[in-house]
Structure 1
Amino acid sequence: MVTNESGGGPVVVGTDGSQCARQAVTWAVGEAAAMGRGLLIVRAARGRWPPPGADLLAAPLAGAPTTNDVILDTRQRLADLAAEVRQQNPGTVVETALRDGPPEEALVAVAEDSDAAMIVLGASGSGAFARLLLGSTAAEVARTAFRPVVVVRGPAPHPANAGPVVLGVDGSDQGSEAAGFAFAFAARHRLAVHAVHAWLSPTLGPAFGPAGELGLAGQTPGLARDELSAAAAKAVHQALRPWTERYPEVEVTHEVVEDLAAKALLDRSAEATLLVVGSHGGGELRRVLLGSVGHAVLYHADCPVAVVRSPEKPEPPD
């Protein structure tokens, strides 16, 4: 059976003390409460830790704090943040972890050790986390973590202004994992799901994967656009059917548009509560964290973005 969150453990959130990280913590604790899970706040201290066996009390350079001072200060800041979160969310179990090394490695390791439901990160921050979305780091987190990865951008909207969950659909078996995550999130937050499939003209190919993945294999370039669009809409409906049957309370709308994938998703992110894409689907979705589509979504979406990895072909829901 598909599990809509990867593990039975807590929601893991990375922090560096920045405002963006604070927003990620706020989003993560809300999600932990909605799921009935604990919250595990993780901080990485890259390049600040002594080598094994080093004397933490050795004389520092003139005017510089000792490494031990830095460690103690970081640990205290993490404890203070956890205490604040506990006070504001008394029903949620809040724990912390302070790890050495790059943030992407620390987060993935803690997530695996704790069987995390998901990993949550701020869109930007200071220090090591400021580089999280630069270069290949974000792609590395999503590529190596067997967990959904949520990148939070900006403060959460007021519940009265909450929009739908926008889901990028490619019709592949792997995309079922992203759909399951989107529907589960929508169900517990009483939101609608708006499924989007973007495609280009027959001469350029669809924006999300080969035509065969949406049941369009064998169609000729001369087929009318409205016929291709209708066939794609039918295929999207069939791909989502297992989830609409499992979550009948979730209102679902489908949209098939002739547009670039990045533009279609970004345009709809402005009114969304969450944008969900799969990282190992077909075509552009398979490369969502490696090319222009992924960069556009992660850097420019107007809402939090969930990247759901599907390392293996999921089983259909009961």
Structure 2
Amino acid sequence: MSGPIIVGTDGSAGATAAVEWAADDAARTGLPLRVVTAVLRRPYDIPRSIVLEEDVITRDARRVLAEAEATARARRPLVEVSTALIEGAASLVLRDQGQGAEEVVIGTRGLGGFAAALLGSVSMHVAGHAHCPVVVVRPVTGPARDEITVGVDDSDACEPALAYAFHQAGLRGATLRAVHAWQLPVHAFAPEVAYAMDDIRAAQYAVVADRLAAWRRKYPGVDLVEDVRCAHPVDALVEASQGGDLVVVGSHGRGGLGSLLLGSVSRGVLHHARCTVAVVRS
């Protein structure tokens, strides 16, 4: 059996949207939902002259958990919901909670973020470190568009992202748009170099067809659109996100530093996509 769906909350509007998304996904998958709040303590949090059985920070965190649990139960009454209050930095707590989980769901930006920030530091850290899919929920208005976008390239690293995207499309009955973006080599613009553009385009379409062939057979009921573009991958995926409910990207990052564990494409899509993004590490 798969692990639970983990959703982090801090009581912010973004976290509430994440709880709602996670409850919906728990209902689709039949998995339990675990709502997590992290409490980070410092020596100056509580004045020494005040002695309480339960300090203010803990009491507030329990209130946040109770409200999030009520939101999830009201939205999806049949989903099994549990809660956990865990001491530690939110980014580390949610990263660790991802071990054995089906996915970790978080908002784009919590209470601690800067107003102008497109993506919070917690979201970036968890997406770069968790070993399960991380869903960063961007609140949107209006009805569902019933379309999911997934990035496709010629490497095996995109296979986990394809698996997640096809599974989500099958559960939702949504169209799956497989976007493959390619760019001309720099020397292709040199007049002395002869390039057969038709051959290049045909080769790019072949990359997508070969990569998707096995998934077509596994999910014959999924309506699949092959979207091959001459563009930067971030630009292509961000543009496609405007007409969808979810963008799924793989992460090719191999660096030792936190931000480098996300590839440049996944970082760019997380910052600029117009809908929810799922990052699926290989």
Give distance in 2, aligned partners of 1:59 and 1:173. 59
Give distance in 1, aligned partners of 2:253 and 2:96. 24
Distance 1:26 1:141, change over 3 A: same
Q: Secondary structure of 1:72's match? A: helix
Matched pairs, number: 272
Q: Secondary structure of 2:153's match? A: coil
Distance 1:163 1:224, change over 3 A: farther
For residue 204 of structure 1, report the CA deviation from its aligned partner.
Answer: 6.7
Q: Relative to structure 2, which stretch is displaced further, 266-275 or 196-205?
A: 196-205
Q: Secondary structure of 1:127's match? A: coil
For residue 239 of structure 1, report the CA deviation from its aligned partner.
Answer: 0.6
Amino acid at match of 2:66: A
Distance 1:153 1:294, change over 3 A: same
Residues 162-220 of structure 1 show CA distances to partners (whole Å, capped at 9, x for unaligned) of 14211111121121110010000000000111111111112279xxxxxxxxxxxxxxx
8 A contact 1:199–1:260 mirrored in 2: yes
Match of 2:130 among 131, 135, 145: 145
8 A contact 2:183–2:230 mirrored in 1: yes
Give distance in 2, aligned partners of 1:103 and 1:132. 18
**TM-score scaled by length of structure 2:** 0.86
Aligned to 2:38: 44
Aligned to 2:23: 29
Aligned to 2:257: none
RMSD of aligned residue pairs (Cα, Å): 3.0
Distance 1:94 1:223, change over 3 A: same
8 A contact 1:57–1:68 mirrored in 2: no
Gaps of 5+ in 1: 1-6, 206-220, 311-318
8 A contact 1:39–1:92 mirrored in 2: yes
Distance 1:288 1:244, change over 3 A: farther
Q: Secondary structure of 2:98's match? A: helix
- Determine if the alignment matches structure 1 residue 256 to structure 2 residue 228: yes
Match of 1:241 among 202, 205, 213: 213
Aligned to 2:12: 18
Distance 1:294 1:281, change over 3 A: closer
Q: Secondary structure of 2:186's match? A: coil
Match of 2:171 among 188, 191, 198: 188
Aligned to 1:59: 49
Aligned to 1:91: 78
- Determine if the alignment matches structure 1 residue 304 to structure 2 residue 280: no
8 A contact 1:11–1:116 mirrored in 2: yes
Give distance in 1, aligned partners of 2:246 and 2:150. 8
- Determine if the alignment matches structure 1 residue 77 to structure 2 residue 64: yes
Gaps of 5+ in 2: 255-259
8 A contact 1:142–1:279 mirrored in 2: no
Q: Relative to structure 2, which stretch is displaced further, 65-74 or 182-191?
A: 65-74
Give distance in 2, aligned partners of 1:200 and 1:77. 47
Distance 1:149 1:222, change over 3 A: farther
For residue 155 of structure 1, report the CA deviation from its aligned partner.
Answer: 3.3
Identity %: 37
8 A contact 2:270–2:277 mirrored in 1: yes
For residue 102 of structure 1, report the CA deviation from its aligned partner.
Answer: 1.7
Distance 1:281 1:247, change over 3 A: farther
Give distance in 2, aligned partners of 1:13 and 1:235. 36
Match of 1:133 among 98, 119, 122: 119
Give distance in 2, aligned partners of 1:252 and 1:262. 21
Distance 1:83 1:154, change over 3 A: closer
Give distance in 2, aligned partners of 1:250 and 1:281. 29
Amino acid at match of 2:12: S
Give distance in 2, aligned partners of 1:244 and 1:44. 41
8 A contact 1:11–1:28 mirrored in 2: yes
Residues 21-57 of structure 1 show CA distances to partners (whole Å, capped at 9, x for unaligned) of 11111111000100001111111122x3569xx9x89
Residues 133-164 of structure 1 show CA distances to partners (whole Å, capped at 9, x for unaligned) of 346x54432332110011111136524xx142
- Determine if the alignment matches structure 1 residue 226 to structure 2 residue 198: yes
Q: Secondary structure of 1:82's match? A: helix
8 A contact 1:172–1:281 mirrored in 2: no
Give distance in 2, aligned partners of 1:154 and 1:265. 18
Amino acid at match of 2:55: N
Aligned to 1:173: 156
**TM-score scaled by length of structure 1:** 0.77
Amino acid at match of 1:190: G
